[in-house]
């Protein structure tokens, strides 16, 4: 994805519990990136069931992330599945020298 994603930016989008759970999913190899372009990433997080994540670039600095999990009404930040996917994108960028 052609947008800078860092661990700190992921932590800002997700509360600590979601970030830590996402990190556990990522470290356990539960994130499968199914499509990755400059503007879009689609992934599946294999948890108790499969959750489908879409991260779409909005402009040079912003992106929008959605997940198929049932989100709680009072929860305003991103879920653990999005955190795991963003961590996978960040790793991909690091490995290819984009960050």
pTM equals: 0.91
Neighbours of 40 (CB within 10 A): 13
The per-residue pLDDT for 73 is 61
Task: Assess if residue 22 is contained within a domain.
Answer: yes
Query: Angle formed by the axes of helices 16-27 and 80-95, to 10°?
Result: 60
- What was the pLDDT predicted at 93? 86
Structural domain harbouring 23:
7-95
46, part of any domain: yes
pLDDT digits (tens, 9 = 90+) for 28-52: 999 999 999 989 999 999 998 999 9
Q: Kindly state whether residue 1 falls inside one of the protein's structural domains.
A: no
Higher pLDDT, 43 or 3: 43
Give the pLDDT confidence of 37-90 residue by residue, as tens digits. Answer: 989 999 999 998 999 999 999 887 788 999 999 876 666 789 999 999 999 999
- For residue 38, the SS3 value is coil
DSSP letter string, 59-96: SSS-EEEEESS---TT--SB-HHHHHHHHHHHHHHHHT
Is there a domain that residue 47 lies in? yes
């Amino acid at each position: 994805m052609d947008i800078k994603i860092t661990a700190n930016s992921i932590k800002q989008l997700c509360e600590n519990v979601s970030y830590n759970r996402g990190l556990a999913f990522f470290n356990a190899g539960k994130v499968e990136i199914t499509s990755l372009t400059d503007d879009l990433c689609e992934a599946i997080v294999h948890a108790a069931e499969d959750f489908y994540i879409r991260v779409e670039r909005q402009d040079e600095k912003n992106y929008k992330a959605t997940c198929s999990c049932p989100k709680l009404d009072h929860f305003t930040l991103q879920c653990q599945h999005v955190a795991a996917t963003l961590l996978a994108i960040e790793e991909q960028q690091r490995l290819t020298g984009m960050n």
